[in-house]
């Protein structure tokens, strides 16, 4: 008992000396409900390509606590976050919960570079996203460690190693009941495929930011190298992949603009050729070996006068040797979200989007044409008049179109209408 008391006293004394116990509460949430013409309730169709406003069918939340502990010139920041997703179909439902972040980040350990940060744990690692489409075009988040914002002249270097395990089909047969060749035949016990086995993988992530260009413009470059290690007797089927990213950020008097170019090989090739969160998932099956892909994105937010503000996304994505059938695919996306501000609280928000091209078919044997379009009008109230002001409560109506599927919504219709209400907040 005495030993426990001494340890508790020591911990309390250390915390009191380094902090005023000012815990930071932070997070994000969205929730709402809708009524659709097909009777299916909320609808979400390809929001990365045609926009998310009035096009989401779930509840999602993140809430975290962080604390900064100071000792001399050093700052030790403890970060934690829980993430949860649920359909939102009734008042009490099971939900997915995940410890999304749990890390320690320390500044001031390098006396000559006070802003350099040493970290370890699980974290959202320098994610890059486009808010109006909820698209994270660079996301190597996970468990690992590294150093961020190490000064190289005016530039900032970040280096990290992050765990990225996956699975593949092993060389061991999997047995089960196999259907007979004729409808009346009884099933027989036999080989139905290959067993699945875990693959230990990693991401080596290197970034250099704050590279000066012309006036109010800067360049950030990032390289993610995904590799795997094998256990005794294991043959890793998925080849290592490289994802290279260049981001030009242009500041303007009325907002900002970013141009993003990404190129990926193998498992990163299929990511770059699609609206996948590049870096967050790596196909280790071997199907993407020899795949290459790239995407060119332009997005930003700008004021268009005293009462108008607009966000946009323009994107072209293409790939070759994609999937087991080694197909060439490409697509383009255009999304715009203009907003008219009636006063400091009330605004009317419009969003229009179109995404079309060729993608791998569901059987994985070839390509098929696809096309989606959306138009949304929302009356909204927010805590401030900025494009980014949140919380925001919206009442919306959406029209959604599938240009290639006459029965896209299960009612022999290629269109859908949705009306609903939603709240979005971050803090």
Measured between alpha carbons, how far is residue 113 from residues 104, 156, 158, 362, 389 in Å? Answer: 18, 11, 13, 52, 34
CATH code, domain with 259: 2.40.170.10
- What domain range includes position 181? 23-426
The DSSP code sequence of 173-197 is EEEEEE--SSTTSPPEEEEEEEEEE
Domain assignment present for residue 75? The answer is yes
Q: Is residue 32 part of a domain?
A: yes
Domain membership of residue 241 (yes or no) is yes
Determine, yes or no, domain membership for 3. Answer: no
- Residue pair 266/241 in contact (Cβ under 8 Å)? The answer is yes
Residue 8: predicted pLDDT? 52
Compute the distance between CA of residue 25 and CA of residue 200 in angstroms, rounded to an integer: 34
**Residue 129 and residue 178: Cα distance in Å, rounded?**
46
At residue 276, the pLDDT reads: 87
pLDDT confidence of residue 6: 53
Let me know if residue 18 belongs to a domain. no
Residue 339 lies in a domain: yes
Global pTM value: 0.90
pLDDT at 194: 80
Through-space distance between the first and last CA atoms of the chain, rounded to whole angstroms:
42
Contact indicator for 63, 82 with CB cutoff of 8 Å = yes
- The CA distance from 242 to 260, in Å, is 16
The pLDDT of residue 5 is 55
pLDDT at 145: 98
Q: What local confidence, expressed as pLDDT, does residue 40 receive?
A: 84
The structural domain count of the chain equals 1
Sites in the chain below the pLDDT cut of 70: 1-21, 278-280
Burial class (CB in 10 A: 0-12, 13-18, 19+), 306: exposed
Residue spans of alpha helices (H) in 258-396:
267-272
């Amino acid at each position: 008992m005495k030993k426990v008391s001494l340890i508790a006293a020591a911990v309390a004394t250390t915390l009191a000396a380094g902090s005023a116990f000012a815990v930071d509460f932070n997070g994000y949430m969205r929730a709402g409900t809708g009524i659709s013409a097909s009777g299916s309730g909320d609808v979400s169709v390809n929001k990365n390509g045609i926009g998310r406003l009035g096009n989401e069918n779930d509840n999602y939340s993140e809430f975290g606590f962080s604390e900064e502990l100071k000792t001399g010139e050093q700052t030790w920041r403890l970060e934690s976050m829980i993430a949860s997703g649920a359909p939102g179909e009734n008042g009490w439902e099971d939900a997915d919960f995940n410890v999304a972040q749990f890390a320690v980040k320390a500044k001031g350990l390098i006396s000559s570079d006070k802003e350099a940060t040493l970290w370890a744990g699980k974290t959202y690692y320098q994610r890059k996203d486009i808010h109006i489409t909820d698209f994270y075009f660079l996301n190597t988040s996970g468990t690992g460690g590294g150093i961020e914002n190490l000064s190289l002249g005016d530039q900032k270097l970040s280096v990290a190693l992050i765990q990225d395990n996956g699975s593949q089909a092993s060389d061991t047969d999997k047995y089960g009941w196999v259907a007979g060749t004729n409808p009346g035949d009884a099933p027989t016990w036999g080989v139905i495929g290959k067993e699945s086995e875990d693959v230990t993988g990693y991401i080596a992530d290197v970034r250099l930011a704050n590279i000066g260009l012309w006036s109010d413009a800067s360049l950030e470059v990032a390289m993610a190298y995904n590799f795997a290690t094998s256990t005794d007797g294991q043959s890793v089927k998925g080849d290592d992949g490289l994802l290279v990213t260049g981001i030009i950020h242009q500041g303007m008097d009325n907002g900002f603009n970013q141009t993003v170019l990404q190129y990926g090989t193998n498992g990163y090739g299929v990511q770059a050729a699609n609206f996948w969160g590049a870096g967050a998932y790596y196909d280790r099956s071997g199907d993407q070996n020899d795949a290459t892909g790239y995407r060119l994105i332009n997005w930003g937010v700008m004021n268009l006068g005293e009462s108008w503000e607009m966000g946009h996304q323009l994107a072209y994505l293409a790939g070759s040797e994609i999937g087991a059938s080694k197909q060439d695919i490409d697509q383009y996306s255009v999304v715009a979200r203009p907003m008219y501000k009636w006063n400091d609280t009330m605004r009317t928000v419009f969003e229009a989007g179109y995404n079309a091209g060729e993608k791998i078919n569901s059987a994985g044997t070839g390509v098929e044409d696809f096309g989606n379009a959306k138009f949304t009008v929302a009356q909204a109230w927010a805590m401030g008049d900025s494009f980014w002001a949140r919380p925001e409560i919206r009442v919306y109506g959406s029209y959604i179109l599938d240009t290639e599927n006459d029965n896209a919504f299960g009612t022999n219709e290629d269109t859908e209408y949705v009306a609903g209400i939603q709240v979005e907040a971050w803090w």
